[in-house]
Structures are given as structure tokens and as C-alpha cells.
Amino acid sequence: MTDLRSDTVTQPTPGMLKAMTEAELGDDVFGDDPTVHLLEKTVAEILGKEAAVFMPSGTMANQVAIRVQTQPGDEIFLEESAHIYLYEAGGPAALSGVMPRLIKGDKGIFTAKDIQALLRPVNDHFPRTRLVCIENTHNRGGGTIWPLENLRELRDFTKERKLGFHLDGARLWNAVAGSEQSEKDITHFFDTVSVCFSKGLGAPVGSALCGSADFIQQARRVRKLFGGGMRQSGILAAAALYSLNHHREKLCEDHRNAKRLAEGIAKLPAFQIDPSSILTNIVIFEYSGNSVESFLDRLNKKGVALVPFGGKNIRAVTHLGITRDDIETALQQIEAVQKNDR
Ligand SMILES: Cc1ncc(COP(=O)(O)O)c(C=O)c1O
């Protein structure tokens, strides 16, 4: 099966499994796991933050960041297609009691002006605005990378208004691999940053939340509250460390594979896509046939798995387990199945 449903479907590599079995372990709830400590120190250094805490998932990392930086009844700004808003099971409302205020961006990207237009005056009638969250790369935008100028402008705006600024950096590594920017070029604008090891980097489990030492101390407590305190989690941290040290460079190949896939799809009459818009590992394209579901079912039977992505859209994501040959095979099957539609 050429599984292009998501970059979360990767299997651990032999080198990663070896690192996991050889990891030195302790009970991390007692603060005893040396491999978790090493991972947290390494991630904090890469992102230029004082401290980091290992998390079981990107969802928990984002939700802990929101809980620590808000009070019930507060308002947080999110782009309308943000993962935090769409795909985290209503976490901001359920876990922090906050009200999401949505901004309509362009492929997930918005400006300080967009928020300014929505900002409420300070008044006892209104919810208090506390936090702005952005996603980089932005999944539903098609893996879009935020221009640094937008981030600078939003950072200045949030500082001036005394708002927190959080980055959902589940695919921060792809933003770096797909641009001239370093991790720190991006992260220095933010108070708090979540990253995932279990997407393009190919670890089986794991995320990290980064920020000031004081913030991370509070985040550890909320992680425990949310049930995310883990014991011999060094076995997972070892996989995350391995992915950081060995798989970041492969992301450039994933991006080239995504571009090739988009270029191939663009030549087929059943689809609409502009390959020049593909900057990272996510390929979203429009299907002009009758039923996306039926097309995807038939493609699946030919050994290629993609996901429906709202309306007539389909998403493919390249990752560690996908080679250039897999892309060529997938293109042949996509072409064959869409031919039968005509
Ligand atoms: C942009 C983004 N943020 C957060 C997450 C949540 O990560 P997890 O699945 O580890 O909870 C995802 C997962 O796909 C994501 O795409």
C-alpha cells in the first residue's frame, strides 16, 4: 500500500528501534528519566527556548499551552481552519473554558490587521482576549509556510496588547526544510511553541511544548492534570531524539516528492491543482468527478490511500516511508482510476 493519507502513518526505522531498545530509562513522573531530560534539553536548544516538556501528543501540547495561558471565559484567536479549532475535539472549550474567535486567513495565514479589526475594547461586558495561536506549516492551507514578516507584525501586535502568542508547530520542521528559515528564526517570535516528532520526522509517538522556564513548570503540572505524566517514557524520547538527529534532512526529499506528485496530478483532466503552491509535504487537489469517496475507494483497491479533505478536495501527504518510486506508482494508479471516470 502506498499510504499517503498522512505523515503520521510512518513505521519506526531499524536505527530508531535500536535507539529505543538501548535508551537509559527512569520514572519521568519522579523526574528520573535521563533520555527524556536529554530530549527536552535538545529541543529547547534547537528552538531557542529556556525549557521544554515532553508530551504524548501534539493535541495535548497545544491544549496545555492554552490552559496555562488563559482563564475560563477568556477569548483566543485562531484561524478558522486551525487544527486546534477543527481537530482537537473542542479542547479549548472543554479543557480551558475559553471562547475561540475565528479569523479567516488566506491558506491559514492572516495579518495583525485581521485581528485588530476584531479586537474588543476593554470593558466588563466582553470576554478578555488573551492568546493568539497560529499554525506553521498550516495543514488545511496545504502545508503553507508563514512569511517571517507576518510573524514579526503579529508578535509586535501581541506584545503591545499583552496577548500570549502560541505556535502550533506540529510541522515546524517542514517550514524550516521548505524555506531559508532556521527553527529559531521562526520560534523567537513566540511565547510558547509545540512541535511533533510523530509526523514527518517519523517517531511513533511524541511532541514537545517549549517556552520560558516558569511556563514549562506550570505546563508540567497541567500535563499531569490532563493525564499526560508518563513513566519510562525515555523509550519514546529516544525515538524522538533519533528522529531529530537523523530525519530532519529527509524532509527536503518529502517536499520534492510532494511537488512531483502535484505536477503529475496537474496533468490529469480530472483534477485541479497549482503545483507552484506546493511548498512542503502536503498536496491538496480538487476532483472534478462525481464522488470523491468512490474515487478514493477505487484508488485504495489499487493500493494507493489518500483522504477526502472537504467538498471536492483530496489530500496526499508525503513522509519518511515514501520514496520517489512510490510517487511514480501512485501517479500511474491515480491516472488509471480517473481515466475510468471519463
Ligand atoms: C497542525 C497540527 N497540529 C496538531 C496536531 C496534533 O497532533 P497529535 O495527532 O499528535 O495530537 C496535528 C496532527 O495531525 C496537526 O496536523
Residue 89 DSSP symbol: T
Ligand 1 contact via 207 beta carbon (within 6 Å): yes
pLDDT for res 236: 98
Q: What φ, ψ does residue 177 adopt, rounded to 5°?
A: -65, -25
Question: Could you tell me which of 82, 116, 115, 70 has the C-alpha nearest to residue 218?
Answer: 70
Q: What is the pLDDT of residues 273-311, one digit of tens each?
A: 999 999 999 999 999 998 999 999 999 999 999 999 999
Phi-psi region of 81 (alpha: psi -120 to 50; beta: other; left: phi over 0): alpha
Residue 119 DSSP symbol: P
Residue 1: helix, strand or coil by DSSP? coil
Residue 38: helix, strand or coil by DSSP? helix
pLDDT for res 342: 61
Q: Is 218 exposed, middle or buried (0-12, 13-18, 19+ CB in 10 A)?
A: middle
Low-confidence ranges of the chain (pLDDT < 70): 342
Q: Is 35 in contact with 231 (CB distance < 8 Å)?
A: no
pLDDT for res 339: 85
Q: Is 276 exposed, middle or buried (0-12, 13-18, 19+ CB in 10 A)?
A: exposed
Q: What is the pLDDT of residues 216-242, one digit of tens each?
A: 999 999 999 999 999 999 999 999 999
Q: Longest Cα pair distance anywhere in the chain, in angstroms? A: 63
Ligand 1 contact via 59 beta carbon (within 6 Å): yes
Q: Where in the chain is the domain with CATH 3.90.1150.10?
A: 249-339
Nearest CA to ligand 1 atom 7: 58
Ligand 1 contact via 40 beta carbon (within 6 Å): no
Q: Where in the chain is the domain with CATH 3.40.640.10?
A: 14-246
Ligand 1 contact via 7 beta carbon (within 6 Å): no
Q: Is 143 in contact with 171 (CB distance < 8 Å)?
A: yes
CATH for 249-339 (3.40.50.1950, 3.90.1150.10, 3.90.1170.50, 3.90.226.10): 3.90.1150.10
pLDDT for res 269: 94
Ligand 1 contact via 136 beta carbon (within 6 Å): no
Q: How far is the CA of 338 from the centre of ligand 1 (A)?
A: 31
pTM metric for this prediction: 0.97
Query: What is the number of the ligand 1 atom nearest to the C-alpha of 135?
Result: 1
Nearest CA to ligand 1 atom 5: 58
Q: Is 226 in contact with 219 (CB distance < 8 Å)?
A: no
Measure the CA–CA gap between 306 and 228, rounded to whole angstroms.
31
Ligand 1 contact via 108 beta carbon (within 6 Å): no
Measure the CA–CA gap between 56 and 61, rounded to whole angstroms.
8
Ligand 1 contact via 56 beta carbon (within 6 Å): no
Fold entry, domain 14-246? Aspartate Aminotransferase; domain 2 (3.40.640)
Q: How far is the CA of 10 from the centre of ligand 1 (A)?
A: 14
From 6, 83, 138, 166, mutation site for ligand 1 pocket: most ligand atoms within 8 A of C-beta = 83
pLDDT for res 341: 74
Question: Could you tell me which of 149, 159, 160 has the C-alpha nearest to residue 190?
Answer: 159
Q: Is 6 exposed, middle or buried (0-12, 13-18, 19+ CB in 10 A)?
A: middle
Phi-psi region of 194 (alpha: psi -120 to 50; beta: other; left: phi over 0): beta
280: Cβ contacts below 8 Å, ≥ 6 apart? 137, 143, 144, 145, 171, 174, 175, 177, 178, 251, 254, 255, 258
